[in-house]
Amino acid sequence: MNTQSSAVSGSFGSQGIAPAALSVTRPMYWSVRRELWENRSIYLAPLVAAAVFLSGFLISLIGLPRKMRGLSALDPAKQHAAIEMPYDTVAALIMGIAIIVGVFYCLDALYGERRDRSILFWKSLPVSDLTTVLSKLAIPLVILPLFSFAITVATQFIMLLLSSVVLLGSGLGVGTLWTQSSFFHVSLGLLSHLLIIHGLWYAPFYGWLLVVSAGAPRAPFIWAFLPPFVICAVEKMAFNTSHFAGILLYRATGPETYTPVPGSTMMDLMPALPPMHFFSTPGLWNGLALAVGFLAAAVWLRRYRGPI
Amino acid sequence: MACIEARGLRKTFGTTIALDGVNLRVEEGRILGLIGPNGAGKTTALNAILGLTPYQGELRVLGRDPWTERDQLTRDVCFIADVAVLPRWLRVSQALDYVAGVHPRFDRAKAEGFLAKTTIRRTSKVRELSKGMVAQLHLALVMAIDAKLLVLDEPTLGLDILYRKQFYDSLLTDYFDRSRTILLTTHHVEEVQHVLTDLMFINRGRIVFDCSMEQIESRYMEVMVHPGHIAEAQALKPIHQRQLFGRTILLFDLAPDLASDQASNHVDRSQLAGLGDVRTPSIADLFVAVMGGPAGDTQGAAV
């Protein structure tokens, strides 16, 4: 017994350093990779959307030289809007896809592992519930916005190149196209929009979905969407008010900074850097506090809940 | 230091009592079999030990509280809940990458070595593997982890006898090394007879039997009584009686006073040997005897 315990304490001492050096980042990194292995739709869905859009755009290029000739008669503002239109559309399309993927991902993230009992395998490894839930929250808040940004920019760049080739081939200049599409300025705006609105402003939405995913005994979709609906309905019935619906709408449409101004395109509304008053919007911090609360609830639930 | 120590461990689900004051102590380097009928509280006990469920009472695993210090314990405690829990979308290569990535005590070369002995391909997904292969993969992953405590809850459930045998063989030859502790539950008691060093029976949330395998050999004896000696043998108060091929088989506890039994009539080995053919009882026979109550009386047999 004595020799045994000394052997054990010896091995404990020598290995005590390794786990300490192995910081939080390593399990986090592998947990995020794990999510991408399981949920390939995170990058496949926006890629497919981009590919489909590009093939449609390719067909539309036939009419591009005619369109550009027609545009030259218009004033610069309208020219800008017309040229920018397909670029806006693809950005919006990929953003929409990313939101849909994010919602369905979150609903399944902590529910699927309970349903297929694999939670018992994940819990047998030294990855804490906090790390697991954080890695899952990172998908809609960080990974999806970054992927959508990369795919959108790549698609827009391909569109720009294809248009230039077509225009040069038909003997037209590409000057208008390149100056009016304001590619690089817009890209920065898109990145900051994705990270700030999708990553910070929408955080409580995704947090709520993760809580439902961690706790729902079955049918997480219904658990996620029915309660808000019921609250709105009851509030309307009881007090004839719609504060809750207003809060949801405010959260969904974004802070005032991004309310559209007539005459400008969607992309122009995305400043390269968010205005300082965005960070002093109480809505942002209230939302983030709520998201942290949801995160804690999801971690707590994952601890207690076993396989279904 | 005891590897696992529990005192008055209780767990209730609503009005159902899953663990009703469990006391147990498992020393380092033992292979303990926790055997019990369905619903006896085996899995609940294991879940408490693994920090998967909160409990009342006192419980220490490697000197730590498994519920509040679970994150610190997961490096030293490893478990297979059931072979069917590997996610079906996972590729074999991804499983190796992931465990190597998150577990500081995982020896990838060792796991690759185990897998090389099987027909499992690195590119396969878990859903493409047979149940036996999934078990082999899971075992290869777990055995390559240098853990202090390995907990196996019905690890061979649903596997055929060849795989079950292979499973325990490799557990003993490739994994167990006297500084590790293994705790396992199974319904195939006859197969773990020569694997275990210690045996516990659990019934209705209580430990009803706790004995090392060496103790069982010295303390319990089964006699296939010669027909002429039956009355004489029964007078020695066997703890269980059964019939086999027309012969009467009696099970004796040679040290009943240890179990705080009043009737301290010492039966000795030579006396029993004179009554018929003697042998050490199997785990299954002991289980039936302990669960089934004294001398063939089947009252309270919740099997």
Closest CB from A8, A29, A118 relative to B86 = A118
**How high is the pLDDT of residue A2?**
41
Predicted confidence (pLDDT) per residue in A214-266, tens digit: 999 999 999 999 999 999 999 999 999 889 998 898 888 877 655 444 445 55
User: First and final CA of chain A: distance in angstroms?
Assistant: 42
DSSP-derived 3-state class of residue B291: helix
Q: How far apart are CA B240 and CA B245, in angstroms?
A: 17
Residues B97 and B241 in one domain: no
B106 in the same domain as B173: yes
Q: Is A115 an interface residue toward B (CB < 8 Å)?
A: no
Residue B231 falls inside a structural domain? yes
Of A19, A118, A119, the CB nearest to B104: A19
Q: How confident is the prediction for chain A on average, in pLDDT?
A: 84
Residue B299 has pLDDT above 50, yes or no: no
Tell me how close the Cα of A295 comes to any Cα of chain B, in angstroms: 18
Tell me whether residues A15 and B105 touch, CB distance under 8 A.
yes
Are B219 and B98 in a shared domain?
no
Closest CA to A105 of A132, A134, A151, A144: A144
d(CA A268, CA A244): 31
Instruction: Write down the pLDDT at residue A61.
Output: 87
Q: Does A78 touch chain B (CB under 8 A)?
A: no
Residue B142, min C-alpha distance to chain A (Å)? 9
Burial (Cβ within 10 Å: 0-12, 13-18, ≥19) of residue B103? buried
- Helix H segments across B125-188? 131-143, 161-170
- A33 in contact with B, Cβ within 8 Å: yes
Q: Which residues in chain A are closer than 8 Å to B81, comparing Cβ atoms? A: 117, 120-121, 124
Do residues B145 and B277 share a domain? no
Residues of A in contact with B97 (CB under 8 A): 30, 33
Number of domains in chain B: 2
Q: Which residue of A has its CA nearest to B86?
A: A118
CA distance B99 to A197: 35
B242 and B108 in a common domain: no
Listed residues B204, B237, B265: the one ending a domain = B204
What interface predicted TM-score (ipTM) does this complex get? 0.87
Closest-CA residue to A200 (of A289, A294, A277): A289
Residue B245 vs residue B111, higher pLDDT = B111
Concatenated DSSP letters of chain A: -HHHHHHHHHHHHHHSHHHHHS-SHHHHHHHHHHHHHH-THHHHHHHHHHHHHHHHHHHHGGGHHHHHHHHTTS-HHHHHHHHHHHHHHHHHHHHHHHHHHHHHHHHHHTTHHHHTSTHHHHTTSS--HHHHHHHHHHIIIIIHHHHHHHHHHHHHHHHHHHHHHHHHHTT--SHHHHHHS-HHHHHHHHHHHIIIIIIIITHHHHHHHHHHHHH-SS-HHHHHHHHHHHHHHHHHHHHS--HHHHHHHHHHH--GGGPPPTTS-TGGGS-SS--HHHHT-HHHHHHHHHHHHHHHHHHHHHHH----
For chain A, which residues score pLDDT lower than 70? 1-23, 180-182, 184-185, 256-276
- Dump pLDDT digits (tens) for B98-139: 999 999 999 999 999 999 988 999 999 999 999 888 988 998
Taking contacts as CB-CB distances below 8 angstroms, the residues of chain A near B52 are 123, 306
Contact check, Cβ <8 Å, B53/A22: no
Same domain, B105 and B239: no
Under an 8 A CB cutoff, do B79 and A118 touch? no
Residue B301 placed within a domain: no
Nearest to B194 by CA among B165, B233, B174: B165
Of A8, A120, A125, the CB nearest to B102: A125
Q: Is residue B252 part of a domain?
A: yes
Q: Determine contact: A225 vs chain B, CB below 8 A.
A: no
The overall average pLDDT reported for chain B is: 86
| pLDDT tens figures, A22-45 | 567 899 999 999 999 999 999 999
Whether residues B36 and B76 fall in one domain: yes
pLDDT of the residue at B189: 86
A-interface mutation test, from B55, B85, B96, most A Cβ less than 10 A away? B85
What residues in B contact A11, CB-CB < 8 Å? 179
Residues B50 and B185 in one domain: yes
Residues of B with Cβ-Cβ distance to A10 under 8 angstroms: none
The answer as to whether B169 is a domain residue is yes
Q: Which of A8, A30, A126 sits opposite B179 (nearest CB)?
A: A8
Co-location of B171 and B226 in the same domain: no
Do B84 and A117 count as a contact with CB atoms less than 8 A apart?
yes
Q: Does residue B235 fall inside a structural domain?
A: yes
Query: Do residues B122 and B198 share a domain?
Result: yes
Res B161: pLDDT: 86
Whether residues B106 and B248 share a domain: the answer is: no
Measured CA to CA, the distance from residue B48 to residue B42 in angstroms comes to: 10
> Domain span at residue B231?
214-296
Largest CA distance in chain B: 68
Residue where a domain stops, chosen among B173, B204, B235: B204
Coil, strand or helix at B140: helix
Q: Mark yes or no for CB contact A128/B71 under 8 Å.
A: yes
Rg (C-alpha) for chain A, rounded Å, is: 25
